[in-house]
Amino acid sequence: MTDNNPGAEPAHDENKLIAQRREKLHALRAQSNPFPNDFRRDGVVAVLHEKFADATKEELDAALHPTKVAGRVIRMRGPFMVIQDGSGQIQLYLNHKEYNEAQTAVHKGLDLGDIVGVSGHVFRTGKGELTVWAHELRLLTKALRPLPDKYHGLQDLEVRYRQRYVDLIVNEETRKTFILRSKIIDCIRRFMNTRDFMEVETPMMQLIPGGAVARPFVTHHNALDQEMFLRIAPELFLKRLVVGGFEKVYEINRNFRNEGLSTRHNPEFTMLEFYQAYADYRELMDMTEQMLRGIAEEVIGTTQILYQDLMIDFGSPFKRLTIVEAIAQFVPDVTVEQLSDIEALRLLARKCGGEANESWGIGRLQMEIFELKVEHLLLQPTFVTEYPTEVSPLARRNDHNPLITDRFELFIGGREIANGFSELNDAEDQAERFHAQVAAKDAGDHEAMHFDADYITALEYGMPPTAGEGIGIDRLVMLYTNSPSIRDVLLFPHMRPQHG
């Protein structure tokens, strides 16, 4: 019996179907190898559809174009069958009158999910559907588990994330999302390469975690008997390369942060991080705007991107606001003068539902208010600048106001997408800020930075004026693919263990 609609079966019936398929497999093993690897196709489905898109039924009947295709069986109805390969789907026609007993047995023994190879010719049915007339049918892989119901697909998000391989088989939108992700990353690489940036690789296991304010994962190197950390950012290593004379470098890297799971956070994630000597943060803002607009135009085909219910405009110039301007604009009844008064800020932070630690300065309090009341309102692409020095331990102080840094963050759809700044290349200033971070860590801040003595040594050799930036690839892909959760754009997102 062929299970044409297995996903609708209860669990005990599914187990019965699996048992039936195992019986078929055992019978096949007695006759020949049910997992051969000697069938070679001469094309993929998408190419066939493209090549014969304009061919009429009469033209195809006259020419009898031969073809060999392979794919997974996803539908069966009488003599017709639909297979799916990595490029798309195509219908097959199987005429038992042409088959010997062995070929007929192969056809009758097929189940949904089996992978087959077909030799035949291309024709068009009376209804106009491009089809392969299968002269020879071979089973290449026997699937032991039934596919989900073709009418309802795989809807359970938990199952989709845990069994992404099934999700990719049955959900075309999932496949499209990850094809677009690949194209977006390729577009970013070409953007960087054409601007003479060099792609590099830096260590993923580090003796000192640095380059970001985050809690690291801890591991142990047995041979060295050394505690090590999975990197939270490649920043300090990339800047070492700028010291060494590589003036434009970038890395598309995996970072690891020992933090919570959410629709926006995964413990490991992908970043683009890049550094350019003899540039400042304003030049990187211009470059970032060009990059994101270019991705929209090239990969998506439009600069107007729908994200959930919001139409995001990548075509217009991105807004630019300072931290103080953003708070004054979006928080009711707040004046610019209040934002430089520490007691007024403490009251405002508490009124906003945030913390107001007595040890915090003006900058930390401003950031608390900004994160609680402003970030989620920055829907259209907006660069926020002039971040407080107190919360920017690696950024260069502003020449005119030492309380702020030459730093920006880019927000789109209420989410941080990028973080960049003119780099701090003063070794003594950097050492002081590292000491302040160590003091914060000793006081209980698990996310504060370590003191990286070797990085200070590198700066003492002299790093040219430099600007650097990190862009969250996962969040960027969420925007371009209209995906509500970061798990939708990660092939294998982290999940809590299943019990029972």
The pairing of strands 382-385 and 407-412 is antiparallel
Q: How confident is the model at residue 7 (pLDDT cuts 50, 70, 90)?
A: very low
Find the helix or strand (DSSP H, E) in which 460 lies. helix 453-460
Q: What is the pLDDT of residue 1?
A: 41
Question: Which residue(s) pair with 173 in the sheet?
Answer: none
Domain boundaries along the sequence of the chain = 6-153, 172-331+374-489
Position 442 pLDDT exceeds 60: yes
Q: What is the pLDDT of residues 65-115, one digit of tens each?
A: 999 999 999 999 999 999 999 999 999 999 988 888 888 889 999 999 999
pLDDT at 5: 44
pLDDT at 476 over 90: yes
**Which H or E run includes 209?**
none
The pLDDT, as a whole number, for residue 500 is 54
The pLDDT value given to residue 438: 86
Q: From CA 218, how far away is CA 224, in angstroms rounded?
A: 15
pLDDT over 80 (residue 160): yes
The CATH number corresponding to 172-331+374-489 among 3.30.930.10, 3.40.50.150, 3.40.50.300, 3.30.420.40 equals 3.30.930.10
Q: What is the DSSP string of 278-328?
A: T--HHHHHHHHHHHHHHHIIIIIS-SEEEETTEEEESSSPPEEEEHHHHHH
Locus of tokens 């998506």: 300
Q: Is 287 helix (H, G, I), strand (E, B) or coil?
A: helix
Q: Residue ranges of the alpha helices (H) in 308-341?
A: 323-330
- Judged against a pLDDT cut of 70, whether residue 461 lies above it is answered with yes
User: Is 495 exposed, middle or buried, given 0-12, 13-18 or 19+ CB atoms closer than 10 A?
Assistant: exposed
Query: Looking at the predicted structure, is the pLDDT value of residue 8 above 50?
Result: no
- The pLDDT value recorded for residue 450 is 82
196: phi then psi, degrees, rounded to nearest 5? 70, 25
* Residue range 291-320, pLDDT digits in tens: 999 999 999 999 999 999 999 999 999 999
For residue 376, give both structure tokens.
Answer: 């989620």
What's the distance, CA 385 to chain centroid? Answer: 26
pLDDT, tens digit (0-9, with 9 covering 90-100), for 482-499: 999 999 999 999 888 876
Mean pLDDT confidence for 187-201: 98
Q: What is the pLDDT of residue 102?
A: 85
153, 171 contact by CB (below 8 A)? yes
Q: Higher-confidence residue: 446 or 328?
A: 328
Pick the more confident residue, 436 or 181.
181
pLDDT in tens, 109-133: 999 999 999 999 999 999 999 999 9
Mean pLDDT across the chain = 92
CA 347 distance to own-chain centroid: 39
Please write the tens of the pLDDT for every residue from 364-422.
999 999 999 999 999 999 999 999 999 998 899 999 999 999 999 999 999 999 999 99
**pLDDT confidence band for 158 (50 / 70 / 90):** confident
- The CATH number of domain 6-153 is 1.25.40.10: no
Q: What's 93-110 look like in SS3?
A: EECHHHCCHHHHHHHHCC
Q: Which residue has the higher pLDDT, 443 or 318?
A: 318
- Per-residue tokens: 263: 């629709």
Residues 340/386, Cβ–Cβ less than 8 Å:
no
